[in-house]
Structure 1
Amino acid sequence: MAQVHAALTETGRRPVVIGLCGAQGSGKTTLARAVLAACSDESLRAAMLSIDDLYLTRAERQALAQDVHPLLATRGVPGTHDVALGLSVIDTLERGQGTRLPRFDKARDDRAPESEWPLAPRACEVLLFEGWCVGARAQSAEHLAQPVNALEAREDADAVWRSYANTALAGPYQSLFARIDRLILLAAPGFDVVYGWRLEQERDLAEHAAPADRVMDEAAIARFIAHYERLTCHILGEMPGRADLVVQLDARRCPVEIRRLR
């Protein structure tokens, strides 16, 4: 809560936006929910938004897959989110109005009906904005030349997919991330732990899935996280030097070091 109170004190903008970045399965959603509860305990009007809830619809991603690159059918990388929707939510909250918060149904791989979106309070004071690439910056062009894994080597040999994602990140996403008042990074010890963390998430999803829901097996999870490897590794190398708070995690997600820049 220290970062929340500092942002509330130092900025006149409401709501203050607390960005929380972390690799898949790092515990960022759990932490955001805990901070949301702490805000409630202190009578602060707060809401939570995940970048995952801003994914384009399945139909929109299929259109991108046809028009730009087949890998864009898979949700995840920059270019597969509705950035304008995220900005609209923040703009509405800044006007002091209540608004519905988008929700994405991962089990069905599509945006949930708007009737199922929760309401953010009027005069919201704190917005917790969490996600695997929240606050990320684009890579330089030379870093895109070489594939980082077998997925890129086999299915993006000409770098069209990763270049599209990088261009999107350098453009519209920076307008969204510029609204962040404090940036917190949950730093994984390395990308090698992400598979196990993501497997735990999928098993939990399977326990609550309906018969028609899409649940990935181990091979599908390995392929899925390969879409995230490039930017996750870039974030782990670049973001610690500028995030307001870095929580270094071990393989069990236990904090081993906390570093504050302000």
Structure 2
Amino acid sequence: MADPTTPTDFAPDFAIGPLLANHLAGRALDEAQRQRLLEWELADRRRAAAWGITAENGPAQIEARLGWLETLAAHHHRLPLPTAPLERYLGLYWRLWLPLALTLKQARAAQAGPLIQGVLGGQGTGKTTLTLILRHILAVMGYRAVGLSIDDIYKTYRDRQALIQTDPRLRWRGPPGTHDIDLGLATLAQIRAAKPGEAVALPRFDKSLHGGEGDRAAPEWVPDVDILLFEGWFLGARPIDPAQFDRAPEPIVTEADRQFARDMNAELANYLPLWDCLDRLMVLCPADYRLSKQWRKDAEHQMKAQGKTGMSDATIDAFVDYFWRALHPELFIAALKRDGEHVNLVVEIDRDRTPRAIYSPALAII
């Protein structure tokens, strides 16, 4: 895997990781180095607009980010990351984790109640890891951030077994129609209405129950929620024009495939009241949606190399294709990447899993 401190859009003559490492080691940046950092930020106009950085406010933002980086360095060992020197992750801190956390901090401070941040991300995009990292960083900043997955609001095992009898196509949990939307709405409403010190029950789902079919587990009671990070593989996705399925990409190839895609598209309408509860929505997506299948295979190969049980490549193909037939990324994610009304931030992930592009659809800058 490529070093996360050297993403693709870094200028070859500007090594940001060593610069930040020197700063953390006590060799404070001089004025020329600070100016170089600002120039690097402003050079990517879309990313600068997404973080709200301008030539006027840039120096203050650079100073604030450097200050928080110093504070967070002492807490880095608590992050849910593979063991590696802090220097390996400085590029990700600077480009994504820290400015995103600061954006959420600012958004929370601007409203009276809890902030509900949606995070859409397909397999392998790192949405679960990102939410854990954000929770940690925001805690250091003084905010209680908690996570909720769309998986946590699955219908019960019994209800899903009944659903399969009604529609055998829903043989795997995950697609639209397999969730308890009312449970999600009630949970978000309780978070909004909770008084100081009052605990809210966050639903939890145990995927190991019933031989891997999964079922509801005991809820987690959490008081004083400042920020809820609500994540899922199609969280925030909205219905598209059904005519697009007439010539849909693979694996939507048969008439049965197209009908399944149309039905799942129609089912998305039932989720709109839940999406409308979001204050913000970010989309994590591969630069090429097909990367997610390879990432899943890579993960399974690593598990097998460690002597653990893993799925075969053929099983992974069938599994991922099933979800692509339900909500194809080339159709639904492409639409969200242009949706400036509902999406605040898009982070495109490169093959080496570093951010390739960061932008806000509402701030279209060419």
Please confirm whether the aligned pair reaches a TM-score higher than 0.5, indicating the same fold: yes
Whole-angstrom distance in 2 between the partners of 1:203 and 1:127: 33
The question of 1:247 aligning with 2:347 is answered yes
Counterparts of 1:206-225 in structure 2, within 5 Å, are 216-225=311-320
Counterparts of 1:63-142 in structure 2, within 5 Å, are 63-68=162-167, 70-96=168-194, 97-107=198-208, 108-114=212-218, 117-120=219-222, 122-142=223-243
The 3-state SS of whatever aligns with 1:104 is: strand
**1:129, CA displacement in angstroms?**
0.6
Percent same amino acid among aligned pairs? 30
The 3-state SS of whatever aligns with 1:124 is: coil
Structure 1 residues 158 and 166: alpha-carbon distance in aligned structure 2, compared to 1, 3 A threshold: closer
**1:153, CA displacement in angstroms?**
3.9
Aligned to 1:188: 286
Task: Pick the aligned partner of 1:54 from 123, 132, 153.
Answer: 153
Counterpart code for 2:125: S
Structure 1 residues 58 and 200: alpha-carbon distance in aligned structure 2, compared to 1, 3 A threshold: farther
Counterpart code for 2:217: P
Instruction: Note the alpha carbon deviations across 1:85-106, whole angstroms, 9 max, x for none.
Output: 1111111111114223222233
The 3-state SS of whatever aligns with 2:290 is: helix
Whole-angstrom distance in 2 between the partners of 1:61 and 1:248: 33
The question of 1:44 aligning with 2:143 is answered yes
Counterpart code for 2:228: L
The question of 1:235 aligning with 2:235 is answered no
Task: Tell me, yes or no, if the aligned pair for 2:156 and 2:216 is still in contact at 8 Å.
Answer: no
**1:2, CA displacement in angstroms?**
2.7
Counterpart code for 2:118: G
Instruction: Note the alpha carbon deviations across 1:112-171, whole angstroms, 9 max, x for none.
Output: 422xx3322x23110001111111111212123345434x44583560x3233212212x
Structure 1 residues 157 and 51: alpha-carbon distance in aligned structure 2, compared to 1, 3 A threshold: closer
Whole-angstrom distance in 2 between the partners of 1:40 and 1:203: 35
Of the structure 1 ranges 47-56 and 27-36, higher mean CA displacement relative to structure 2 is found in 47-56
Gap regions ≥5 residues in structure 1? none
Task: Tell me, yes or no, if the aligned pair for 1:58 and 1:73 is still in contact at 8 Å.
Answer: no
Aligned to 1:34: 133
Structure 1 residues 4 and 51: alpha-carbon distance in aligned structure 2, compared to 1, 3 A threshold: same
Gap regions ≥5 residues in structure 2? 1-100
Structure 1 residues 113 and 175: alpha-carbon distance in aligned structure 2, compared to 1, 3 A threshold: same
Counterpart code for 2:279: D
Task: Tell me, yes or no, if the aligned pair for 2:240 and 2:332 is still in contact at 8 Å.
Answer: no
Structure 1 residues 83 and 248: alpha-carbon distance in aligned structure 2, compared to 1, 3 A threshold: same
Superposition RMSD in Å: 2.6
Whole-angstrom distance in 2 between the partners of 1:58 and 1:201: 27
Whole-angstrom distance in 2 between the partners of 1:192 and 1:34: 25
Task: Tell me, yes or no, if the aligned pair for 2:144 and 2:225 is still in contact at 8 Å.
Answer: yes
**1:200, CA displacement in angstroms?**
4.3
TM-score, normalised via structure 1 length? 0.84
The 3-state SS of whatever aligns with 1:175 is: helix
Structure 1 residues 75 and 16: alpha-carbon distance in aligned structure 2, compared to 1, 3 A threshold: same
Q: Which has the larger radius of gyration?
A: 2
Counterpart code for 2:238: R
Aligned to 1:149: 250
Of the structure 1 ranges 226-235 and 20-29, higher mean CA displacement relative to structure 2 is found in 226-235
Task: Pick the aligned partner of 1:176 from 270, 274, 277.
Answer: 274
Task: Tell me, yes or no, if the aligned pair for 1:19 and 1:134 is still in contact at 8 Å.
Answer: yes
Structure 1 residues 220 and 56: alpha-carbon distance in aligned structure 2, compared to 1, 3 A threshold: farther
Which protein, 1 or 2, shows the higher relative CO under an 8 Å CA cutoff with sep ≥ 6?
1
Structure 1 residues 103 and 204: alpha-carbon distance in aligned structure 2, compared to 1, 3 A threshold: farther
Structure 1 residues 72 and 87: alpha-carbon distance in aligned structure 2, compared to 1, 3 A threshold: same
Aligned to 1:257: 357
Instruction: Note the alpha carbon deviations across 1:62-93, whole angstroms, 9 max, x for none.
Output: 3222213x221211211111111111111111
Whole-angstrom distance in 2 between the partners of 1:201 and 1:48: 23
The 3-state SS of whatever aligns with 1:156 is: helix
